[in-house]
Amino acid sequence: MLRILSGIQPTGTLHLGNYFGMMRPSIALQDEGDAYYFIADYHALTSVHDPDLLRANVRGVALDFIACGLDPRRCCFFRQSDIPAHVELAWLLSTVTPMGLLERAHSYKDKVARGLDASHGLFAYPVLMAADILLYDSALVPVGKDQKQHLEMTRDIAQKFNDRYGNTFRIPEPRIGEETAVVPGLDGQKMSKSYHNTIEIFAEEKVLKKKVMGLVTDSTPVEAPKPVENSTILALYRLVASAADVQQMEQEFMNGGVGYGDFKKRLFGAIWEYFAPQRTRRAELERNPDEIDRILADGAARARQVADVVIERAREAVGLR
């Protein structure tokens, strides 16, 4: 059966970019194969340095993911740090990973340029990501365009290990499609907590409306036609509204006579309605906190069964057994 793997960092409240970029495509893959989804709390340590906040974020991600449709009965859902083999395998892989490969990582350069500490953890992020993927003999990894290079690096690292020690790891294939397209944020850049431009999935109604009404737009007057291309309002509306409603808004953009404020109000209403069932489900889960602990514990036990086999294979390959 096709083994699928994907992870998400608990670095804050999940937003529309997380949902449409990673969560929704991953949930759709539950029926395509043997799906493994994890909360990447080891990775989060490069940017989250408050232990209480990290614990809260992990629980928040679990609540959000399950509320949005992840079914623990149809996949394996677990916390990365419950499987210490992730970091052991990362060390084994680091011994075959060329420095030049890591120095070419776009993500590292971008994050340092935006003020993150240039730590070894941030620099070696692709090695831990490779361990995450290879530890489960993953065949398919759904990634966004911004993670494509890291998946290519995973393939390079796995091949270098196999070349040195024999055929130890399966070489994974990426899935990069429209479902992982970049979701624009409040300022038109990619929606990201790093850019402080996010729209949270489960924000309170007033908070959500204030954020949407704060979307950056140009100065086109109400009566004039408005550009359809590269419109953040339209890009977000296409994600949450019906095809007919999207077509109507596009036509009104081109006709003129409607202001950006009205379009933003319509966008807010569509987002609020789209996530109404998920909000109800999340509230139910919050009333039963032990259920989240049970789901993560069960997922870790299932993940460990696979991870133990692969890490033992890697230990034997390098001579630790």
Do 300 and 294 form a contact (C-beta atoms < 8 A)?
no
Do 168 and 92 form a contact (C-beta atoms < 8 A)?
no
Per-residue pLDDT of 187-196, as tens digits, reads: 999 898 878 8
Burial 36-63 (b: 16+ CB within 10 A, else e): bbbbbbbbbbbbbeeeeebeebbbbbbb
pLDDT at 179: 47
Do 136 and 310 form a contact (C-beta atoms < 8 A)?
yes
- Supply 276's token pair: 């109404």
pLDDT at 115: 75
Q: Residue 317: is its pLDDT beyond 50?
A: yes
Active site residue 148: no
Q: Residue 178: is its pLDDT beyond 70?
A: no
Q: Which of the residues 193, 209, 226, 264 is marked catalytic? A: 193
> Domain 3-183+289-318 carries which CATH code?
3.40.50.620
Which residues, other chains included, contact 116 with Cβ-Cβ below 8 Å and sequence gap of 6+?
46, 47, 122, 194
Select from 1.10.240.10, 3.40.720.10, 3.50.50.60, 2.30.40.10 the CATH code of 203-274: 1.10.240.10
What distance in Å separates the CA atoms of residue 217 and residue 115, rounded to the nearest whole number? 27
Domain coordinates in residue numbering, the chain: 3-183+289-318, 203-274
What distance in Å separates the CA atoms of residue 309 and residue 321, rounded to the nearest whole number? 13
Does the CA dihedral 123-173-85-79 come out positive or negative?
A: positive
pLDDT at 310: 98
Give me the helices (H) in 230-288, please: 232-240, 243-255, 260-274, 276-286
Place 258 in a pLDDT band, splitting at 50, 70 and 90: very high
Per-residue pLDDT of 40-64, as tens digits, reads: 999 999 989 999 999 999 999 999 9
pLDDT at 177: 57
Place 243 in a pLDDT band, splitting at 50, 70 and 90: very high
Q: Which of the residues 111, 209, 211, 264 is marked catalytic? A: 111
pLDDT at 244: 98
Residues 136-143: what's their mean pLDDT?
88
Per-residue pLDDT of 194-234, as tens digits, reads: 788 999 999 999 999 999 999 999 999 999 999 999 999 99
Q: Which of the residues 148, 160, 190, 265 is marked catalytic? A: 190
CA-derived radius of gyration, the chain: 21
Question: Is 203-274 the same fold as 3-183+289-318?
Answer: no
CA angle 139, 88, 58 (to 5 degrees): 75
Q: pLDDT averaged over the chain?
A: 93
Active site residue 111: yes
Place 181 in a pLDDT band, splitting at 50, 70 and 90: low
Active site residue 226: no
Looking at the DSSP bridge assignments, the partners of residue 79 are: 39
Per-residue pLDDT of 72-109, as tens digits, reads: 999 999 999 999 999 999 999 999 999 999 988 877 77
